[in-house]
Amino acid sequence: MTKLRLVLGDQLNAAHPWFRQPDPDAVVIMMEVRSETDSVVHHAQKVLAIFAAMRAFARALRSAGHRVHYLRIGDAENRQAFGANLDWLAARYRARALERMEADEWRVERLLEEAAAQLGLPTIVVDAAHFVCARAPLAEAFAQRVPRLEIFYRDLRRRHRILLDEQGKPVGGRWNFDAENRARWPGTPPAPAWPWAATDLSSLWQEILAAGVRTLGSPSAEALAWPLTRAQARAGLRAFVEQALPSFGRFQDAMSWDEPLLFHSALSFALNTKMLHPREVIDAALHAFAAGRIDIAACEGFVRQILGWREYIRGVYWGRMPDYARINALAAHRPLPRWYWSGETGMACLRAAIGQSLRLAYAHHIQRLMLTGNFALLAGCDPDAVDAWYLGIYIDAFEWVEMPNTRGMSLYADGGLVASKPYAASASYIGRQSDYCKRCRYDPRRRHGASACPFNALYWAFLVRHETELGANPRMAMPYRSWQRLGEDEREATLGHARTLLDRLDDL
């Protein structure tokens, strides 16, 4: 009895139980489809890297003895949608059943449910065998109540006995080393080189172009230096642990004009496509700590990102969808400024972060949160537009992880489910954490006037605009007090300047 086993582009998990040994009754189905390339405009490198990694995965499965039917984007028989392709493949193989893994994205899960219903075959949905927390209980818990990250993370540390001593107490005497992890990078130690060499994908790029797929950003084969196989992903993990992890915690919040990656791992693409398992990444860090190669602040800071934030964000997504995709608690409706698609702005920090994103399909967390996200928050940009931008531009962007980070953490559009206060900041934060301001035409110390840094007036105007929603939040008491301490003339001039800025965002 032939069964079709569907593997999506973000399900490249060689350790999945399906692949332990070849099953003569199973045909693994993989497809490059326009319904996915066109769901938003994606970065050229994201489309390239996902297709190249899918093709490499299919080759590896075939050489391990699995039967694989792979549909390329330009194949004549490709119907360019999951449902239509499954229909004719089921007929072609006289399939009696469909098996698929849980999809990570709500939209894709619905598409696959519809496709299966149309197919009319018995369908089995299995776990993707990737995350630390199983989806159904996680979603159920988060649907009832979204816990604070710290509570959720400590609970997972206890349950999985990670960084605990024999008495069950946190190693190092504390659960959280964030206070040690906020240094500005002074230029030393030198940041490690980008972990991967470039792969020439020019012929794949020609196929994508010939199929008419619209993309953004640079497709440059020289710049396409992302892991496309599990072996490359593992090599990147090893390089990260040896070279970058010792300084990861300390410079986690730092930003640099010259170094796009600093001491971050760039492992999110390999993790989100499931080439790497989160537990093996965590274990690599724990191993380095046990061997005395990294200190507790670096180890805990990194483990928190994967065991804590990544699982937590997934809980918010699956617990709160589909309503989460529509919430807009701060009623923000402005379009994103045009330069989000070109990087051509006089603001050096945003020029660096957006330019780098267009070039590499990557920006690290603080660039996403405190530069592009912070600006969109302060300017009151529409969460739908901001979501689409983040979902398109980053190589690691899949809706389950992109959306709660964008709408929740960055834009406060969920009214505080993810963040206990908005991540809103003026130039003083950006100046403290980076070297951008010295290359900027704006003055980070000024609140108004033509040369004043736009972040400053927009920051204060944001607080004033949202006093109803934020004024009672105890974590916002200090900024509101500081605002009151400014003289009335200063407040008027600042708000007047913010109005001018909001009228001409495209020109900044």
**Closer residue to ligand FAD in complex, CB, 22/246:** 246
Q: Report the side by side order of strands in the sheet with 97-101.
A: 67-71, 26-31, 3-6, 97-101, 123-126
364 binds, among ligand SF4, ligand FAD, none (CB under 5 to 8 A by kind): ligand FAD
> What value, to the nearest 5°, has the Cα angle with vertex 281 and ends 272 and 132?
65
Contact 363, 370 (CB under 8 A): no
Helix (H, G, I), strand (E, B) or coil at 215: strand
CA distances from 334 to 68, 233, 337, 365, 368 (A): 47, 39, 9, 24, 19
Question: Judging by beta carbons within 10 Å of its beta carbon (0-12, 13-18, 19+), is residue 405 exposed, middle or buried?
Answer: buried
Give least dist CB 337 to ligand SF4, A. Answer: 13
Give least dist CB 309 to ligand FAD, A. Answer: 4
The CA distance from 28 to 26, in Å, is: 6
Query: Binding of ligand FAD at residue 42 (CB under 6 A)?
Result: no
Binders of ligand SF4 in range 344-373 (CB under 6 A): 347-349
Query: Binding of ligand FAD at residue 405 (CB under 6 A)?
Result: yes
Binders of ligand SF4 in range 398-457 (CB under 6 A): 427, 430-431, 436-437, 440, 442, 444, 453, 455
Give least dist CB 252 to ligand FAD, A. Answer: 7
306 binds, among ligand SF4, ligand FAD, none (CB under 5 to 8 A by kind): ligand FAD
The CA distance from 115 to 125, in Å, is: 13
353 binds, among ligand SF4, ligand FAD, none (CB under 5 to 8 A by kind): none
Query: Binding of ligand FAD at residue 406 (CB under 6 A)?
Result: yes
Query: Binding of ligand SF4 at residue 376 (CB under 6 A)?
Result: no
Give least dist CB 395 to ligand FAD, A. Answer: 9
Listed ranges 130-138, 225-233, 313-321, 341-349: which one lies at the site for ligand SF4 (CB under 6 A): 341-349
Query: Binding of ligand FAD at residue 382 (CB under 6 A)?
Result: no
Binding mask 474-503 for ligand FAD (x = CB under 6 A): ------------------------------
Range list of β-strands (E), 108-176: 123-126
Give least dist CB 427 to ligand SF4, A. Answer: 4
* Residue showing tokens 């075939």: 62
Nearest-CA neighbor of 299 among 234, 371, 354, 245? Answer: 245
241 binds, among ligand FAD, ligand SF4, none (CB under 5 to 8 A by kind): none
> Out of 31, 47, 271, 298, which residue is the one contacting ligand FAD (CB under 6 A)?
271
CA 306 from chain center: how many Å? 12
Query: Binding of ligand FAD at residue 305 (CB under 6 A)?
Result: yes
CA distances from 113 to 19, 29, 92, 135, 481 (A): 23, 16, 21, 17, 52
* Residue showing tokens 């709160």: 320
**Contacting positions for ligand SF4 (CB under 6 A):** 347-349, 427, 430-431, 436-437, 440, 442, 444, 453, 455
